[in-house]
Amino acid sequence: MSEQREEDTVRYKIENNIAWVYFNRPDKRNCQSPKLNRQMMRVLTELEFRDDVGVLVLSGEGTAWSAGMDLKEYFRESEAEGFHAVRRSQREAYAWWERLRWYEKSTIAMVNGWCFGGAYGPLFACDLAFCSDDAQFGLSEVNWGILPGGGATKVAVDLMPLRAAMYHAMMGENLTGPQAAQYNLVNESVPADQLHARVKEVAEKLVQKNWKTLKYTKDSVRRVKEMTYDNAEDYLIRMQEGLNWADKSDGRHVAMKQFLDDKTFKPGLGHYDKTKTEK
């Protein structure tokens, strides 16, 4: 087979304000090569501020979500080239995971299959995660003589109970989809034939909400995790004031009118109609 072009390592389509982005190296189980990492950053950059994209879903072509880092191109070939290439490859990978972690739009990992090691970076970076029951999750690093780097250890410890994270990192055994949900690696595990529909349902709900509110909400959730209560309380006041400025639609006043005056919606039971802008 001829070598895959860099621009083909990721594919995407946009439908009804949802960007469906796919790791596209199915023959290599979507493992992350330097080429894929560079292309993913390009795609994320292209999609992030588009007015027609409100939610980004990250999934994989074929049987894998992502089989982690590419042992040949990311590890062996970078190491052969020298220290500078090792650091360059790491930066290319970590950079797009970081971009995704603080992405302007809401993000969902749709884990359709294998998810190993270096795939925990983007898994954690996505705001929400859904998987198929037959997906498999593994910190397989210990199986080939390295530790779970690139943030993978941190992801396991942040998301899982400590004993479970320790067992997961030390044993190199895989978790099924339902086990990944039980240990908080994903929000939900569903039968494979329902995965796309479930993710679409969630994405469509998110699309209808105020996108700026979602951005400030998700960033707040990530930031306050490492703050004291008092720092978080203060930070959240500043974030709300920031949102008041950033939301040029002034959504909260539009919503207040729809609830208090027009009585067209109840905040406890659903979202306001953001297509109506009257305050």
Among 28, 38, 200, 218, contact with ligand ACO (rule: CB under 6 A): 28
**Coil, strand or helix at 99:** helix
CA distance 159 to 259: 37
Phi and psi at residue 106, to the nearest 5°: -65, 145
Closer Cβ to ligand ACO, 73 or 219, answer by number:
73
Say whether residue 69 binds ligand ACO (CB under 6 A): yes
C-alpha of 22 from chain center: 12
Does the footprint of ligand ACO cover residue 70 (CB under 6 A)?
A: yes
Which of the 8 DSSP states describes residue 78?
H
Binding-residue pattern over the window 113 to 132 for ligand ACO, x denoting contact by CB under 6 A:
-x-xxx--------------
Q: Confirm or reject binding of residue 140 to ligand ACO (CB under 6 A).
A: yes
Helix-helix angle 83-101:34-48, to 10 degrees: 30
Q: How far is the CB of 101 from ligand ACO (least distance, A)?
A: 18
* Beta strand 188-190 pairing with 128-132: parallel
Cβ(107)–Cβ(100) below 8 Å = yes
Nearer to ligand ACO, 118 or 251 (CB): 118
- The C-alpha atoms of residue 56 and residue 208 are separated, in whole angstroms, by 14
Phi, psi of 2 (to 5 degrees): -70, 155
- Span interacting with ligand ACO, options 63-71, 90-98, 175-183, 232-240, rule CB under 6 A: 63-71
**Shortest Å distance, C-beta 231 to ligand ACO:** 34
Pick the closer one to ligand ACO by CB: 29 or 105. 29
Three-state DSSP state, 63? coil
Q: Tell me which stretch binds ligand ACO (CB under 6 A): 25-33, 41-49, 92-100, 197-205.
A: 25-33
Question: How far is residue 8's CA from residue 3's CA, in Å, rounded to a whole number?
Answer: 10
Q: For ligand ACO, which is the closer residue by CB, 30 or 189?
A: 30
Which 72-91 positions form the footprint of ligand ACO (CB under 6 A)? 72
Applying CB under 6 A, which residues contact ligand ACO? Answer: 28-29, 31, 63, 67-72, 114, 116-118, 140-141
